[in-house]
């Protein structure tokens, strides 16, 4: 049985982690898989309780897990947690509208480019068999060298000058984009900001040991305790952890699709959006329409 370590920081993090576990338990029941969960604090919460921002018990939880799900992306201590892991690539997925989904992957640190390119091909093979390469000649050469081992994946090379407008105005043109580090952050920000009903989350993939899954920062310290923080990115990060950490891609797609549907269909009454728990409940209520084996799964 695989284990997920749940690291919770301060601010809105406890509320977001509660929603993540609520959704994870529900999708696990629907898809019939089991998992263990270990909860540990870090950052300001851990400092107040243990006198350390990353206590030994938190390190043990991280290193003993198959996936690490973090609530508290704005905690400076997150860098200390990341330093414990063998992280090689950053995968950012952006969902927008009802069904469109783009995955951006780039290398992290020195010597990780070749591993990142191979991982990008593997991710593309599990999706729509399409991979776009964005970068300089050296980066594209790595992609060309790896392509013969993945002949079923169609590769296109797009210059950064052309890729940026596509990311801004037509992100659905892409499926998986393996992008050189100098252009990665800009492309991701443009694609996420340009899409309506968007949600983005991040996975830091490890070659050995657990990978780390983080929502986009919400700047939500002012919202802490009010039950109104938007949990969509946290739920999407949970879907990434289910897929790339727990090895349950079908369950991950059920959750990710339900998050998108809830964003698109979210009603606004009297200028007030749904509360945190109301939104998550709508996500769970949409599972029957986003499961691939559902009787009336939309084409």
Instruction: Identify the pLDDT of residue 110.
Output: 85
Q: Based on the domain organization, do 27 and 5 belong to the same domain?
A: yes
Rounded to an integer, the average pLDDT of 98-120 is: 93
Instruction: Please say which residue of 180, 205, 230 terminates a domain.
Output: 205
Instruction: Please say which residue of 205, 226, 242 terminates a domain.
Output: 205
Instruction: Identify the pLDDT of residue 265.
Output: 80
Does residue 79 surpass a pLDDT of 80? yes
Say how many residues make up the chain: 299
Interval 49-59: pLDDT, tens: 899 999 999 99
Interval 128-176: pLDDT, tens: 999 999 999 999 999 999 999 999 999 999 999 999 999 988 888 999 9
Mean residue pLDDT across the chain: 89
More confident residue, 240 or 219: 240
Q: Based on the domain organization, do 214 and 72 belong to the same domain?
A: yes
Does residue 6 surpass a pLDDT of 80? yes
- % of residues, the chain, pLDDT over 70: 90
Instruction: Identify the pLDDT of residue 139.
Output: 96
**Nearest Cα residue to 184 out of 202, 206, 208, 197:** 202
Torsion of CA 257, 260, 262, 266, to 10 degrees: -160
Instruction: Identify the pLDDT of residue 3.
Output: 97
Instruction: Please say which residue of 155, 189, 205 terminates a domain.
Output: 205
CATH number at residue 184: 3.40.50
- What is the domain extent for residue 253? 1-85+209-299
Interval 15-74: pLDDT, tens: 999 999 999 999 999 999 999 999 999 988 889 889 999 999 999 999 999 999 999 888
Coil, helix or strand for 275?
coil
Q: What is the pTM of this model?
A: 0.91
Give the residues across from 199 on adjacent strands: 95
CATH number at residue 32: 3.40.718.10
Domain count, the chain: 2
- % of residues, the chain, pLDDT over 90: 67
Measured between alpha carbons, how far is 40 from 72 in angstroms, rounded to an integer? 12
Instruction: Identify the pLDDT of residue 297.
Output: 44
Instruction: Identify the pLDDT of residue 298.
Output: 47
Q: How many CB atoms lie within 10 A of CB 281?
A: 17
Q: Based on the domain organization, do 53 and 144 belong to the same domain?
A: no
Instruction: Identify the pLDDT of residue 225.
Output: 63
């Amino acid at each position: 049985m695989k284990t997920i370590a749940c690291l919770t920081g301060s601010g809105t993090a406890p509320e977001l982690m509660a929603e993540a576990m609520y959704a994870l338990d529900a999708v696990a029941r629907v898809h019939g898989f089991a998992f263990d969960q270990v909860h540990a604090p870090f950052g300001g919460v851990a400092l107040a309780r243990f006198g350390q921002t990353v206590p030994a018990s938190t390190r043990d939880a991280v290193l003993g897990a198959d996936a690490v799900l973090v609530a508290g992306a704005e905690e400076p201590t997150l860098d200390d947690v990341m330093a414990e892991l063998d992280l090689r690539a950053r995968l950012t997925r952006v969902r927008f509208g009802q069904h469109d989904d783009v995955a951006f992957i780039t290398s992290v640190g020195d010597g990780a480019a070749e591993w990142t390119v191979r991982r990008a091909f593997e991710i593309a093979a599990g999706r729509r068999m399409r991979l776009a390469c964005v970068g300089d000649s050296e980066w594209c050469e790595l992609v060309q060298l790896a392509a013969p081992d993945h002949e079923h994946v169609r590769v296109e090379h797009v210059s950064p000058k052309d890729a940026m407008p596509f990311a801004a105005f037509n992100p659905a043109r892409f499926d998986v984009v393996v992008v050189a580090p100098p252009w990665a952050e800009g492309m991701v920000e443009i694609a996420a900001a340009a899409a309506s009903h968007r949600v983005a989350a991040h996975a830091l993939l490890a070659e050995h040991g657990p990978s780390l899954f983080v929502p986009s920062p919400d700047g939500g310290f002012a919202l802490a305790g009010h039950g109104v923080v938007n949990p969509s990115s946290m739920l999407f990060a949970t879907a990434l952890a289910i897929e790339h950490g727990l090895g349950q891609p079908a369950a991950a797609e059920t959750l990710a699709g339900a998050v998108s549907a809830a964003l698109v269909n979210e009603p606004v009454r009297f200028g007030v959006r749904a509360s945190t728990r109301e939104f998550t409940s709508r996500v769970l209520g949409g599972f029957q329409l986003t499961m691939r084996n559902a009787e009336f799964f939309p084409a």
